[in-house]
Amino acid sequence: MSITVKAVAYTDPEMKDFLRMPYQVQGDNPLYVPPLMIQQKDVLDPKKGPFHKYGTAQYFVAYDNGRPVGRLSAHLNPRHEKLHSPDDGFFGFFECENNPEASRALFDAAAEWLAKHGKKVILGPMGFGIYEDVGILIDGFDTMPALLQTHNPPYYQDLVESYGFTKAQDWVAFGGLPKPDLPIRGNFEEKIPKILEQTGYTMRQPTADEIISRSDEALKLFNDAWGPNWGHVPFTSEEFKHILKELKPVLRPNLMRAAFDENDEMIAYLINAPDINPAIRAMHGRLTPWGIARLYWEARYRTPHRIRSLIMGVRKEHQGRRIHLALMMSIYLEFLKFPLENWDCSLIAESNRATLRAYRVFEAEIYKTWRIYSYTMQS
């Protein structure tokens, strides 16, 4: 066995090996949902991805006697450094065959690159932000990931931990099915207007265009609500608009709720989307004209059988007034109309106890766990 690691620029021929690695490693797993190739390219391309306006990344591919067997990125996030620690660097986009020598060589390459940039700690895996491609899946291998979630073989945990990485933070997904006879339900239809009357708020189903047109308002709310989250780094306006535009095809008004104060300022929202991962899986990550048409139909028109709750937030000064419960109760009633197979609520940091409590009230159970690791480099 002869393992070599090559530093790869986006324009290098070896970038094809980097992009194909997820399919090579996990393509035979019927539960694996590959990233759409066109989206993956846009994220990694320094000329297109919003991260590259302020961050720096280096891609690596491991070869065993010339055959690609693994990949990862090492990257620097100055915005994280300003808020948390200037010693932190990151690894992400990790994919590897069950080859400890190859994974060690990849981690060595990332550590060397990060050390040259003055870093002492490696956090990961994650994409270019704390809410992108978060963690190694360590529990919940028996179900297909929901929309925008990652999946990996169980041996990834051994590859990472055998190098010396230790737990930094776990992130979880709640799953379940809405129940008409939920014990705490009582009469949601009566409780919702009472909360709105007591607070003076209004609630409606926003359109995707409204959310996007009010993206700066929605961004302020998100950064305010999620500021205490572990590792939180505020999105830039460009990043948030990019995310909303990517999500637009799956944003249906009846699956979203937003609350407004007397000045029609958005003070809370809950965004859910049809989980179209089974359709994406069937396309093997590639968008053909027929595939685009099918995804559009799945996202916009098909009665949802799987739903993911993506984002919930309440502005800080409006928290504690139960408006989040009004949003959740309204959506819960909506979900009862559908023949759901799974309702996924994620990702939630284990340190976010308030949100964990909120979902447990609705008798959702944790069914997947991802772990972000930390490694302190030797001086």
Hey, do 3-172 and 188-340 end up sharing a CATH topology, with the first three levels equal? yes
**In the chain, where the domains are located:** 3-172, 188-340
Give the best-scoring range by mean pLDDT among 27-31, 70-74, 311-315, 353-357.
70-74
CA distance 204 to 260: 8
Using the predicted structure, report yes or no on whether residue 110 has a pLDDT greater than 80: yes
Class of domain 3-172: alpha beta
CA distance 75 to 59: 9
Reported confidence tier of residue 47, pLDDT bands at 50, 70, 90:
very high
DSSP three-state, residue 214: coil
Reported confidence tier of residue 296, pLDDT bands at 50, 70, 90:
confident
* CATH architecture for the domain at 188-340: 3-Layer(aba) Sandwich (3.40)
pLDDT value of position 210: 94
Among 4-13, 161-170, 282-291, 346-355, which stretch is predicted with the lowest mean pLDDT?
282-291
Reported confidence tier of residue 183, pLDDT bands at 50, 70, 90:
low
Reported confidence tier of residue 295, pLDDT bands at 50, 70, 90:
confident
pLDDT value of position 185: 61
273-283 per-position pLDDT tens digit:
999 999 888 87
CA distance 352 to 195: 24
Using the predicted structure, report yes or no on whether residue 52 has a pLDDT greater than 80: yes
Contacting residues for 177 by C-beta, under 8 A, at least 6 apart: 340, 341, 342, 343
Q: Which two tokens stand for residue 250?
A: 């799956």
In this structure, the strands spanning 67-76 and 365-376 are unpaired
Residue 64 bridge partners (DSSP): 3, 67
Question: Which of the two residues, 181 and 3, has the higher pLDDT score?
Answer: 3
What distance separates the 2 farthest-apart alpha carbons in the chain?
Answer: 70
Using the predicted structure, report yes or no on whether residue 180 has a pLDDT greater than 80: no
DSSP 66: T
225-257 per-position pLDDT tens digit:
888 888 999 888 888 888 888 889 999 999 999
3-44 per-position pLDDT tens digit:
999 999 999 999 999 999 999 999 999 999 988 888 899 999
